[in-house]
Amino acid sequence: MSVQTKADQVAPVDLITVTIDGVEVQVPKGTLAIRAAEMIGIAIPRFCDHPLLDPVGACRQCMVEVPDAGNGRGFPKPQASCTLECAPGMQIKTQHTSDVARKAQKGMLEFLLINHPLDCPICDKGGECPLQNQAMANGQGESRYEGVKRTFPKPVAISAQILLDRERCVLCARCTRFSEQISGDPFIALVERGALQQVGRYADDPYNSYFSGNVVQICPVGALTSAAYRFQSRPFDLVSTTTTCEHCAGGCQLRTDQRHFQVKRRLAGEAPEVNEEWNCDKGRFAFVSARGEDRITRPLIREDGALRVASWPEAVDAAVAGLAAAGGSAGVLTGGRLTLEDAYGYSKFARVVLGTNSIDFRSRPAGADEEAFLAANVAGKSLAGAVTYTDLETAGHVVLVGFEPEDESPLIFLRLRKGVRKKGLKVTTIAPFASDGSAKLNATVVATVPGAEVAALRGLGLAAGNVLLVGERAALVPGLLAAAAEVAETTGARLAWVPRRAGDRGAVEAGCLPGLLPGGRPATDTAARVDVAAAWEVDSLPAEDGMDATGMLAAAAAGELKALVVAGLEPVDFADAAAVRAGLENAGFVVALESRLSEVTERADVVFPVALIEEHPGTFLNWEHRPGRVNTVIPQSAAPMTDLRVLAALADALGRPLGVRTPKQALAELTELGTWTDPAGVADARPAEPVRKSRTRTVAPKVPKVTDGEAIVKLATWRQLIDGGRGQDGEGALADTARPSLARVSPALAQALGVAEGDAVAVSGGSGWYSLPVAITPGMVEGAVWVPTNSPGTPLGELGVVFGDEVTLSVGGEE
Amino acid sequence: MTDTLTPVLSANWGTEKSWTLEAYAATGGYQAVGTALKMTPAEVTDLVKESGLRGRGGAGFPTGMKWSFVPKDNPNPKYLVVNADESEPGTCKDMPLLLASPHTLVEGMIIASYAIDCHTAFVYIRGEVLHVIRRMQQAVQEAYDAGYLGTNILGSGYDLDIVVHAGAGAYICGEETALLDSLEGRRGQPRLRPPFPAVAGLYASPTVINNVESISSVPAIVKNGSAWFGSMGSEKSKGMTIYSLSGHVNRPGQFEAPLGITLRQLLQLSGGVRAGHELKFWTPGGSSTPILTAEHLDVPLDYEGMGGVGSMLGTKALQVFDETTSVVRTTLRWVEFYKHESCGKCTPCREGNWWLVQLLKKFEAGQAVEGDVDKLLDICDDIGGKSFCALADGAVACVTSAVRHFRSEFEAGYSTPAWELFPYGRSALFEVPEKTEVHA
């Protein structure tokens, strides 16, 4: 049925016939000549042309001869094939059959080279350079130029990360068009004129775009380089592997390049259905964490209060002893870094080996009704019939709830922007203020104080085929997830849940939740348990309700949970970091599987080193439910054991074998299990959700009362893309492009508090306070303050407050 | 074809304070507006079509036809933009016209705007000519005060505002799409076409862009009729136009005559080449039109005549050079101009002109080597017809035509500096010290 639907959606295409170098080809109306030539395998040299950017016709490299424009008359001059639309009956002659085209192309290359330095031996692009390649293929070999080349001081840092060598630039305007058209950050532009034309930026505004690394990749010469990769390697010394990004749930395909078993750089892979040819700077540059002193390569066990290196058998024995002593009073915290296969290993380990349903991947603030929502709307779903990136473009109207795409899933942001620019897409966001990202989407902002999202959502007119994107933050507003599901159901709009981390969607599928077994099976359902137990060849699965992460940590802190198995998490990622630390410290026994030292390993009794993401294969499911292959980039790891392999070893030693020890086996077993089809009907098996039928009255929020320079307001927050997350450690140039940490308030609230732009305000709540500079934000909803969730120095987990909590805002607070 | 001067646009240039509304009205100015506003817009367009008026900015596209391309069903506002960015070396017709009689343009703009249903019209004036900008601003203010601009013009119910915009000093902004970008506040660089300005021009709305002289010719056509206009000029190049003569002529200046007049006739009118010298080469329409020589003295100066001898009518800016002039040096000066004015957008213009200047300097200094003439022509071939807009075509036209007519003079650059063959002081109209070495 879905296939049929797809076929129905494809609009009939008008095909026209053109002849290129004597070969007839049928192309859709509106096709550019350069694309038509590609279709029959003819590569016309080009620099400015890029299929995802608007044509500009600036470099003039792609000249072709057109003896017949389709009307019987030819063009008197050669034409730039990148701006020439095919017409029925058009005759096009490329460099293969036309002396005119060949001469024009040779001449253009000679022009481009007269001022281009011959520094290929020290240029990062040398070896993968379109100018170099096309000069060899289409140039004339020798230059007739005898003068002195134009030079500029070099390089110019257009941001902390992006460096510009102007004398190498061929002024193709790819970078400036990318920044303006694709990402909507026109911080760079062509300036000056004639032979002095160059890429420039405003003096006070560096090119701090979340997508700046893409301009390095699409630069057809070595004019743009990154601080991270500059002078690091020659392209021909690199070994490239296609893989999937581990940062967010976007599932971007990457090309990761390693040399000497070290990742040197990461490029956006080509995945038209997913990230097209782009990625974000975090995905591109944040990969050097765990390269430092804190990498764990040997097992550690705690002895006399301190960790010491141990052999694998010794560590396994110690872990087994501890877990056996817990006698089933154990829980598993997995975090968001795991592949689907590893997550499956933990899910099965909890149920089969530890005999518990206490497992939770949510190393973040989680909501009470979230699990039911995930069970009903996410788990067990597949790509077929799901909302996809491509669907976003054509949805007509996309509504964002608890979701800030530019920060939280940047490639969704780019795809929405494409839809807005090219397909008439309308975006509405239910958010506390109009962010830069919303402005770039030309979004309608329903300014909403945290907690009032349900009413705002119900007030929107959605139509069938529209899309509702719900972020993980929505779980923190009681009833919001249920309302989103209900609105989608009643309007026919399509719903998608966009988690933040790469492993989250897979963890739901693998059953890393207390109430869910693999494939979306309810752990509370006897038939489902029998089903899985049979597949796993065990007598039964635990029937008792498991605890969620917060519950486990609280139980551990109270001494009620004897053991914890922890995969990878940071206390500050939770609602209350102190509670996490207390839980870890008071749990009878903690086993950590980690790749680098952390707050968890500090508190663990046994630590097993595990491989980095680039060191083992696996799968990430992205928000579309699309599987993305994670491939082994580094075949020689300092810590070659995977989470799955360690779990299998522990299971064996505990006498309850896991049955799988490689990702391949795990994926095969999970696939074989399939997804849950409830014989009794899906709805009955799920807990009834409290659906509020009563219309919530929307009351215009008022400026909160300010007493003694203090106001009590609701906390709005999300994670900025580049922040204090540990996955970004070690990449200083990337960190320097982060957005500043600010406290956003409305002009009225600022006035009531008596603060001006940039003044310090204290945000206090829970167990402490932070002082942040104020950003007065027109259009910000009254009664709220926005601060970033996890920016360096101000992680909200330390305060113990989450989105929607009340916090106190006061003047000053500087230390 | 008549051989006398036919002052129409320049008829009132000699009157006292000709630039004032009072003086303009006293010579029959603003009568045509009243006539036009009583016609339907379509009738005005048809009248201009019938007259055979062709664009006076250089390309010679029929003006009335350009107006009729404006789509009627487009919901966006329609705009008239007058191109007064006169910057071509040798061209000096629009600036004197605006200096002497700015109201002729204002009146033409009212009529043209009415014909295309435009209510906001723009004049984009070259930024360097401040006196002209001020005079135009003054004229527009006077027209507002007199009720020729603003709302309900002459009780007709028709509204029009005129905006006088000063450019920032870039030749490329005379290219109509670069002009539009500049007028919108962007960097002036030519736009990709299609869409053409008639469909999506200024602010992505239907836009007619006309030269100052084209629009200024409209009041006379409305007043005297298309037949009167068509009675002047040649078969396909109708009407009168302003020829501007400069260089080695005794009385340089503007000469308004029917299209199709010859340089021989114009030289007679302007007192001929300076005494004791003879014509060596000349441009028919500014430096971007291929140069001609004495053998072309009797070719009609109209679109077809100039096209027939491998040149173009262009802006009818006749630069006259006598036998004391080095064609190599002249070509170098022109190409230096194009190098300086290249906007940088496309490769052949940006890099090619930069290279041509270096090569031509070698010719001038006598340091070119055997084969460099062919190399020069080959580089011109790699530039011409390959660039984004016509700027580079104009740049190479002066080089290729100079080599065509004076190849041996370029070949002399293999051994002898141009300033030795043509001591520069001799071509000057004033005393200069003899040049003995290359100067850049």
- A67-109 pLDDT, tens digit per residue, is 999 999 999 999 999 999 999 999 999 999 999 999 999 999 9
Nearest Cβ partner for B340 among A108, A190, A194: A194
Residue A674 has pLDDT above 50, yes or no: yes
How far off is chain A from B86, nearest CA to CA, in Å? 19
- The C-alpha angle with vertex A742 and arms to A737 and A746, in degrees rounded to 5, equals 135
Residue A701 has pLDDT above 80, yes or no: no
What is the pLDDT at residue A690? Answer: 42
A111/B355 CB distance under 8 A = yes
Which of B355, B364, B354 shows the shortest CA–CA distance to B332?
Answer: B364
pLDDT of residue A694: 36
Q: How many helices and strands, by DSSP H and E, does chain A display?
A: 27, 35
Q: Is residue B152 in some structural domain?
A: yes
Q: Which two tokens stand for residue B138?
A: 């003054």
Among candidates B170, B358, B388 on the partner chain, residue whose Cβ is nearest the Cβ of A60: B388
**Predicted ipTM?**
0.95
B231-263 burial: b if 16+ Cβ within 10 Å, else e: ebbbeebbbbbbbbbbbbbeebebbbbbbbbbb
Whole-angstrom distance, CA of residue A314 vs CA of residue A647: 15
Contact A111 B339 (CB under 8 A): no
The answer on B308 and B408 residing in a single domain is: no
Q: Which two tokens stand for residue B397?
A: 């036209």
Query: Which of A167, A116, A172, A166 lies closest to A145 in space, CA to CA?
Result: A116
Structure tokens at A747: 């002009």
Query: Which chain A residue lies closest to B362 (C-alpha atoms)?
Result: A147
Instruction: Kindly tell me if the per-residue pLDDT of B3 is higher than 90.
Output: no
Residue with tokens 């990761």: A256
**Mean pLDDT throughout A771-788?**
96
Give yes or no: residues B66 and B193 share one domain. Answer: yes
pLDDT band for position B202 (cuts 50, 70, 90): very high
**Is the domain of B200 the same as that of B278?**
no
On whether the CB atoms of residues A411 and A624 are closer than 8 A, the answer is no
For residues B249-272, give the mean pLDDT: 96
Contact in structure between A334 and A359 (CB atoms under 8 Å): yes
Instruction: Please say whether the beta carbons of A251 and A244 come within 8 A.
Output: yes
Q: Please report residues of B whose CB lies closer than 8 A to that of A83.
A: 192
Q: How confident is the model at residue B316 (pLDDT cuts 50, 70, 90)?
A: very high
Distance CA A730, CA A710 (A): 38
pLDDT number for residue A294 = 92
**pLDDT tens digits along A367-410:** 989 999 999 999 999 999 899 999 999 999 999 999 999 999 99
Q: For the domain that residue B403 is a member of, what is the CATH number?
A: 1.20.1440.230
State how far residue B326 is from chain A, nearest Cα, in angstroms. 24
SS3 A806: strand
pLDDT at position B54: 97
Task: Please give the radius of gyration of chain A, using alpha carbons only, rounded to the nearest integer.
Answer: 29
Q: Which residues of A571-589 are buried (b: 16+ CB within 10 A; e: fewer)?
A: bbbbbbbbbbbbbbebbbb
pTM of the prediction? Answer: 0.94
Q: If pLDDT is split at 50, 70 and 90, which confidence band does A289 have?
A: confident
* Residue B437 falls inside a structural domain: no
Confidence category of residue A141, pLDDT binned at 50, 70, 90: confident
Same domain, B263 and B120: no
Same domain, B295 and B331: no
Residue B435 forms part of a structural domain: no
Residue B56 belongs to domain with CATH number: 3.40.50.11540
**How many percent of chain A have pLDDT more than 90?**
90
The per-residue pLDDT for A4 is 42
Among B298, B322, B346, give the residue marking a domain's end: B322
Do B308 and B364 fall within a single domain?
no
Give residue A708's pLDDT: 82
Q: Encoding tokens for residue A297?
A: 């390569």
A109, closest residue in chain B (CA to CA): B347
A686 part of contact set with chain B, CB < 8 Å? no
Q: Is residue B420 part of a domain?
A: yes
* Angle at the Cα of A463 from the Cα atoms of A461 and A464, rounded to 5 degrees: 155
SS3 A426: strand
How many residues are present in chain B?
A: 440
Token duo for residue A50: 């890029």
Give me the domain span that covers residue B407.
327-427
Residue A260 clears pLDDT 90, i.e. is over it = yes
Find the range with the poorest average confidence among A286-295, A787-796, B281-290. Answer: A286-295
Q: Which of B195, B230, B265 is the last residue of a domain?
A: B230
* Minimum-distance CB partner of A194 among B339, B355, B387: B339
The answer on pLDDT for B437 being more than 60 is no
From B203, B230, B257, give the residue that closes a domain.
B230
pLDDT band at A766 (very low <50, low <70, confident <90, very high): confident
For residues B334 and B313, state if they share a domain: no
| CB interface of A with B, residues 65-104, below 8 Å | 76-78, 83, 103-104
- Alpha-carbon distance of A336 to B32, in angstroms, equals 79
Same domain, B33 and B107: yes
Are B342 and A194 inside 8 Å of each other by CB? Answer: yes
Q: Compute the distance between CA of residue A511 and CA of residue A517 in angstroms, rounded to an integer.
A: 4
Two tokens, residue A605: 């009794």
Interchain contact, B353 vs A77, CB within 8 Å: no
Helix axes A340-348, A663-673, angle to 10 degrees: 70
The string of DSSP codes covering B175-196 is: SHHHHHHHHTTS---PPPSSSP
Residues B92 and B152 in one domain: yes
Per-residue confidence band for B430, with pLDDT thresholds at 50, 70 and 90: confident
Q: What is the pLDDT of residue A8?
A: 47
Assess B343–A contact: CB distance below 8 Å, yes or no: yes
Check whether residue B411 and residue B292 sit in a common domain.
no
Percent of chain B with pLDDT over 90: 95
Q: Is residue B4, in this structure, part of any structural domain at all?
A: no
pLDDT in tens, A218-241: 999 999 999 999 999 999 999 999
Number of structural domains (chain B) is 3
CA-wise closest residue to A511 among A534, A537, A480, A541: A541
User: Where would I find the beta strands (DSSP E) of B126-199?
Assistant: 161-166
Taking an 8 Å cut-off on Cβ atoms, the answer to whether B385 and A115 are in contact is no
How many helices (H) and strands (E) in chain B? Answer: 20, 9
CB contact under 8 A, A192 and B344: yes
Residue B1 counted as domain residue: no
- Is residue B295 predicted with pLDDT exceeding 70? yes
Answer yes or no: is B92 within a domain: yes
Is a pLDDT exceeding 80 seen at residue A2?
Answer: no
**pLDDT classification of A680: cutoffs 50, 70, 90:** low
For residue A706, which of A759, A763, A748 has the smallest C-alpha distance? A748
Asked if A197 and B382 come within 8 Å (Cβ–Cβ), the reply is no
Kind plus residue range of the DSSP H or E element containing A133? helix A130-138
Closest C-alpha among B3, B6, B11 to residue B239 = B6
- Output the pLDDT for position B22: 97
On chain B, the residues whose CB falls within 8 A of the CB of A191 are 187
Using the predicted structure, report yes or no on whether residue B1 has a pLDDT greater than 50: no
Q: Is residue B8 part of a domain?
A: no
| Phi/psi-derived region of residue A509, left when phi > 0, alpha when psi is between -120 and 50, beta in every other case | alpha
How confident is the model over B6-43, as pLDDT tens digits?
Answer: 999 999 999 999 999 999 999 999 999 999 999 999 99
Question: Token digits for A755?
Answer: 């603060």
Judge whether B12 and B101 are in contact, CB under 8 Å.
yes
Nearest CB to B344 within list A108, A144, A194? A194
Q: Please tell me the distance from the alpha carbon of residue A37 to that of residue B305, in angstroms, as a whole number.
A: 41
| Per-residue confidence band for A682, with pLDDT thresholds at 50, 70 and 90 | very low
The CATH number of whichever domain residue B254 belongs to comes to 3.10.20.600
Nearest by CB: B351 against A106, A111, A191: A111
CB-neighbour burial class of residue A67 (10 A; exposed 0-12, middle 13-18, buried 19+): middle
Output DSSP code: residue A19: E
| Cβ neighbours for A76, distance < 8 A, ≥ 6 positions apart | B385
Pair B139, B31 in one domain: yes
Structure tokens at A390: 């491509």
For residues B94 and B208, state if they share a domain.
yes
Amino acid identity, position A501: R
Q: Is the pLDDT assigned to residue A691 strictly greater than 70? A: no
